[in-house]
Amino acid sequence: MPKIEKSIAGAPFPTPVALVTTIDKKDNANIITLAWVGVACSEPFMISASIRPGRHSHALLEDTKELVLNLPTAKILKETDYCGTVSGRDTDKFSSSGLTQEKAKFVSPPLIKECPVSLEARVEQQLSLGTHDLFVCKVVASHVEAAFLNEKGKFDFSKIDPFIYLATDYWDLDKKIGSYAFTKKSGLA
């Protein structure tokens, strides 16, 4: 079937869902739900987060240069969605969502207790790209709930119930369908 030229920005590409915490100068924490996040570099460990300049968290992040990227599970899907639908300018999202703050070790914004993975990070670069600004952040501490580790101390993805964002929907993950370099091991590459 032939391909046609069509604008599909953000539509067919699944992205992780993250709850990003920021904080103001008065220690008021905020949560923003983001889908435009990811790993930017493995060494040093760097992550990226894209945020629209009009969002409350954008101003907080520009001011403090610190965030915590928290990875939710499907168990808190309702709270995750909620944090992306109200503004922190008007709402204390921790109180109204029922999510719990935990003190971070190296940055001011809190971790979210209900998220099994939390990455403390500091902004290294900010790039204005158009509708969003990309914040490239160096991870200064990684926190993983011990229950999600296997007997060798490695992250066990079968124990977590993650979900992704696709177009305007949340999707769960069904099953593992391959591993890195499987084509080399099977002689296909």
What mean pLDDT is predicted for residues 158-178?
A: 83
Residue of 155 and 121 predicted with greater confidence: 121
Q: Rounded to two decimals, what is the model's pTM?
A: 0.92
Domain range 15-185, CATH architecture: Roll (2.30)
**Is there a contact between 138 and 124 (Cβ–Cβ < 8 Å)?**
yes
- Helix ranges (DSSP H) in the chain: 56-64, 77-83, 93-97, 182-185
Cα gap 188→176, rounded to integer Å: 20
Domain boundaries, the chain: 15-185
Quick: pLDDT tens for 97-108.
999 999 999 999
What mean pLDDT is predicted for residues 22-30?
A: 96
Cα gap 118→146, rounded to integer Å: 12
Please, which residues have CB within 8 angstroms of residue 16's CB and are 6 or more apart in sequence? 35, 37, 38, 71, 162, 164, 165
Cα gap 44→4, rounded to integer Å: 40
- Our separate counts of H helices and E strands in the chain read 4, 12
- Helix ranges (DSSP H) in 28-173: 56-64, 77-83, 93-97
